[in-house]
Amino acid sequence: MAAYRAPLKDIQFLLNDVFDVGQLFASMPDTAEVTEDLISAIVEEAGKIAEGLLAPINQSGDQESCHFVDGTVTTPKGFKEAYKAYAEGGWSSLTGDVNYGGQGMPKMLSAVIEEMSFAANSSFALYTILNTGATLTLSSHGSDELKKRYLPKMYAGTWTGTMCLTEPHAGTDLGMIKSKAVAQADGSYLITGTKIFITAGEHDLTENIIHLVLAKLPDARPGARGISLFLVPKFQVDDSGELNGIRNGVACGSIEHKMGIKASATCVMNFDSAVGYLVGEANNGLAHMFTMMNYERLSMGLQGNGLADSSYQIAAEYAKERVQGRAATGPQLPDQNADPILVHPDVRRMLLTMRANILGGRALSLYAASQLDISRFHPDVAQRAKAEKLVALLIPVQKAYCTDRGFEACVLGQQVLGGHGYVAEWGLEQNVRDARIAQIYEGANGVQALDLMGRKTVRAKGELLDILSGEIDEFVASQIDAQSMKPYLDALHKCRERLAEATSIVLARSSEDPNEIGAASYSYMELMGLTLYCFMWARILAAVNGGSGTAGFDASYADSLVKIGQFFMQRLLPRGESLLAEIASGAETLMAMDAEQF
């Protein structure tokens, strides 16, 4: 099995040459001190953590899994020590509020670190990103008292956080939740209910776990508008932010036995009159939780990218070493009985598909992260508002499209190895199992597609898409005089035309038949994802053609990017035509059968 190698060259190229983070961060006072040198140092150190600390316990963690005995969860061998080293290195506080012990770093930086963590050890990464999301939500919506009491220990990694949404009868439709919160005279609440699929709900990595729980007050209105958000600690905390020794009324009832991410504890959590504290305004909990959800959904796309990259590394190395058959043009290694399988066009098809989508997905994830940073740090109110709208459009696509392509890449990598890809020692079968969940949790990909088509496009009457189109127009205008960019700009123009046509079709038909929205949604998400990958590849190729070289990429690396980009444009991009045809076919055939005919 190939040892995981952090893709530092790709990361540095995208950050510096494609997105010019030095200039972006310099334009925002709160990130002005985040220089390219600082970014490089942090990314390189994170790469060492991924390669040397997380990857070595990935396969063993999968084989051992978590243990559940009498309400206590024990993580696999090495996880507790690795988490201690991770926390002591300051990684838990990277993007945190500087007023409470955080480092205030931008999401673009943490995004590439998350991708490397997911590639090296997805189960371990989940413990860390849940804490990051919980601290972000608390920082954004909690009272000063709650922030002072809980954030320092969560940033230090001494405590970790979770989010508790799903219930046995309520998954996507959170308006159906039954968990109750009853106000007490001292301003606290007693929380009662059961939550399922709670990542890191119980474990032995830290001394306390801080749950963010959705529940309803007794007089709450029906549906999603009656949901409030509460902070519920595993162990109660005094006013000074220290444990008071009292165990709260929250316990793990069981852990799930899963297809993948086996070293991540997925828990059933029972709240029995547990003491909790209101976060933000009553009955606005779902909106507050979406602060966390946008970041977590971005993380799921990063999981897809990371596991795809891990799979590519294994498959590419295997393809260069495994000898089987001869090249169609004649023996490449005449002194041996066969040539490496890399000579076969179909093997190259699989590897190039993986590589093209990895780079496109990584770039799209950084683009979405840049908009999150602008919405958080930019001094101009108008720029922040524009970025927030772009985030609303980009996140469902980035989550769904990157996880779909990520899973596809893991399967393709497995196929390159053939039978060896199906056995455990090479790591591909674990990647396939670990990647599969990313298409499901944090909002299944079909739900992301429906959100994109329904809320973000039809209901918004195309306004958000117009903003994205403006971004593309600005890029095209910057490249219009570059003759070498003409084929790529032409391809991007065709993508935009297809997406605009698809949008017009659904906007026109949905007023007469609401099923048109759902019928078109998944194909539309894929069409937009393909268009965004084309946009990202155009930016990548523009950076190569510009030749600024701030990332220090050599001629061979630049040449490889051009070749991969051309493969994407010529072999993957044509799928847009079939996606448009699917959308244009309408809802009739999908809705024609009666229920009993299924």
Q: Catalytic positions, please?
A: 442
Apex 586 CA angle, 580 and 587, nearest 5: 135
CB crowding 539-554: b at 16 or more within 10 Å, else e? bbbbbbeeeeeebebe
Token pair for residue 272? 């029995």
Contact 308, 406 (CB under 8 A): yes
Distance, in Å, from the CA atom of 426 to the CA atom of 141, rounded to the nearest integer, reads 45
Among candidate residues 368, 344, 286, the one with its CA nearest the CA of residue 532 = 368
What are the structure tokens assigned to 394, written together? 């980009």
Q: How far apart are CA 48 and CA 54, in angstroms?
A: 9
H-type alpha helices, 547-574? 555-567
Question: Strands 250-255 and 72-74, how do they pair?
Answer: unpaired
Query: Six-digit token pair at 365?
Result: 């994830």
Cβ 211 vs Cβ 250: under 8 Å: yes
HSE-up of 180 (CA within 13 Å, CB side)?
Answer: 8
**H helices of 454-514, where?**
463-479, 486-510
Which residues, including other chains, have CB under 8 Å from residue 328's CB and lie 6 or more apart?
343, 344, 345
- Assess contact for 298 and 368: CB atoms under 8 A: yes
Which residues lie across from 210 on neighbouring strands? 161, 233
Pairing of strands 228-233, 235-237: unpaired
CA atoms within 13 A of residue 567's CA, in its CB half-sphere: 19
For residues 248 and 165, what is the distance between their CA atoms, to the nearest angstrom?
19
The token pair at 176 is 């159906």
Give the total residue count for the chain. Answer: 598
- 561: nearest Cα among 363, 383, 375: 363
Positive or negative torsion for Cα 322, 323, 325, 326: positive
Cα 491 to the chain's mean position, in Å? 27
SS3 track for 513-553: CCHHHHHHHHHHHHHHHHHHHHHHHHHHHHHHHHCCCCCCC
